[in-house]
Structures are given as C-alpha cells and as structure tokens.
Structure 1
C-alpha cells in the first residue's frame, strides 16, 4: 500500500487508491469498502500528498499532519470528525499549534480528521510513520512512471476531433 497513490475525488465520499491508468481516466479502489470505480478525465481529483495545511509561518504537508496525529494517538483513531466545533478546534490546535485560523476552517479540520481515520482503518497510518513522504507530483504504476496529466485531470482536457465521414454521393443523371 502506497500513500502516494491516495486520492480524494470531488463528489465521491471517502478516499481512493489509484490502481490503473486508462485512456479515458483511471481506475480507483475505495479505501472504505474496496469497490473499484472508473474516474473520467473531467473529474476533479486531488492527491493527498499534494495537499497542505496553512500555518502562521509556512504550509505543512497533509501527511506530516497525519504523522503528528498518529504520534499523538499511538497510531490509533483520531477524534471523530462529527465532534463539536470547539472540540475540533482544540484538538487541531494540539496537533498544529500555529495553524492559520483565518484560512483553515472547521470544515477543513473535519475533512482532515475523517481522512486520517479512513487511512487508520485501512492500515495506512503505519506506512505514514515508516517512510518519509516525498513526492514530485507524479504517480508510479507498476514501477513505470505515469503521465502527470493522468493525476492532475483538471489541468488538461483532451479534445478529439471527430472522424471525417464519407462524402455522400449525389446522383446527378441529367
């Protein structure tokens, strides 16, 4: 299981692992129930390794936030994302004391905690602590680098030209 292949797909609940790249998009597997779905090129997809949390001084990669939560919870589950707003803010300020309270909303904190708990149930948390997460924005499938546009599907859309049809024959017999 590779944490660099974990995706959040807009409009779809939970997290997904990138499995196979296809001509029209890619196939992803849900970390919650294991179901595979086909994701088209027009879907808005985010790699978790590319997401950061704003702090007062800089940005903190999401996997570093996950590692801090795992350290605090001894690789166990975090606070439920359905807790009250005050509890969520207090918990998150324990994890990241200098997070930017103007740019990080409670909805963002809920999403981070929900994603962490999904990763924890799918046994990705130990992989977070075992390896340092560094990515360059590309995804490797079967030890071969994939095209970067396949991951950042919202960045570029391929438009195919329609095939030329045969010209209709006109019968002019005069």
Structure 2
C-alpha cells in the first residue's frame, strides 16, 4: 500500500487507510483497530505522501524520512518510543535528518513521525520508495509504443 492511500485525520489518533471517496468526504479504516470512519471534507485531513519536513535547505518528503528511519533501524521498529521526552526525540531525529529546521519542526511533529512509522511498520508497509518514479517509467514506455 502506498503512502498516497494513508491518511492522518485531525482530532483522531493513528493513521487511516483510504477505502473509498463519497460525495461528502470519504470512508477510512483505522490502522490501529480496524474500525471504519466516515469523514467529511470539513475535517483536517492530510495524505502522508503530501507531507514534508522542513530542513535548513529545503523540504524533505515524509517518505524519505521514513526511508531513513527504515535504514537506521534495519527494517524494524524505532529504537525510541514516541512518548520519550523532548531531548531524546530531538537527538533521535537529528540522527535521521541532521539538517532539520529545529525552529519549525516541533517535538510533537517528531512524536507523530515516530508513531506513524511504527504503525506502518506493524502493518507491513515498508516500501517508502518514490511511486512517481515507477509511474514516470511506465509513462515513458507507453509513449514509446
């Protein structure tokens, strides 16, 4: 499952898998407990593939941050929990993304990233490579034909 089908819904814990879209919003399934929820377009919803982390030079897509965590942890869960204190969270994140913007990336953001990574890891979602590269190569092949 790609990150463009995984959602974060404001005010609701965890992550949700996009099941279907409706006229008034969409239906999602919680990755924590499997319960289905109907969400209106008024809710604050973020697609994980659209989230980026501020660094001192540029914005880094969340999937790249997940990939760096995956490589650091050898494909396993994080060695630090999302409920650790602020200093430990920042030290861990500094190992992952040394040039992140400390003024714009808060401890609460780091907590979410660690929690989301572990939820995805628990559900076997471990491929954080860029899906658009596959789409572009498929597009090039179809254009050649």
- Give the TM-score band, short-chain normalised: 0.7 to 0.9
Give the alignment's TM-score, normalised by structure 1.
Answer: 0.73
- Give the structure 2 partner of residue 66 of structure 1: 66
Work out which structure has the larger RCO, using CA pairs closer than 8 Å and 6 or more positions apart in sequence: 1
- Give the structure 2 partner of residue 38 of structure 1: 38
Whose radius of gyration is greater, 1 or 2?
Answer: 1
Shift of 1:134: 3.5
Rounded to whole Å, the distance in 1 between the matches of 2:117 and 2:132 is 18
1:119 aligns with 2:120: yes
After TM superposition, list the pairs within 5 Å mapping 1:101-140 onto structure 2: 101-125=102-126, 127-128=127-128, 131-134=129-132
Cα gap change, 1:111/1:38 in structure 2, threshold over 3 Å: closer, same or farther?
A: same
1:83 aligns with 2:84: yes
Kept in 1, the 8 Å contact 2:31–2:119? The answer is: yes
Rounded to whole Å, the distance in 2 between the matches of 1:116 and 1:20 is 23
- Give the structure 1 partner of residue 4 of structure 2: 4
- Give the structure 2 partner of residue 56 of structure 1: 56
Secondary structure of the residue that 2:101 maps to in structure 1?
coil
Kept in 1, the 8 Å contact 2:3–2:47? The answer is: no
List per-residue Cα deviations over 1:1-52 (Å, max 9, x = no partner): 2321100000110000111111121110111111111111211110111111
Number of matched pairs: 132
Secondary structure of the residue that 2:95 maps to in structure 1?
helix
Higher helix fraction (1 or 2): 2
List per-residue Cα deviations over 1:117-167 (Å, max 9, x = no partner): 111111112x22xx42449xxxxxxxxxxxxxxxxxxxxxxxxxxxxxxxx
Secondary structure of the residue that 2:18 maps to in structure 1?
strand
Give the alignment's TM-score, normalised by structure 2.
Answer: 0.86
Rounded to whole Å, the distance in 2 between the matches of 1:27 and 1:105 is 30
- What residue ranges of structure 2 are gaps of 5+ in the alignment? 134-145
- What residue ranges of structure 1 are gaps of 5+ in the alignment? 136-174
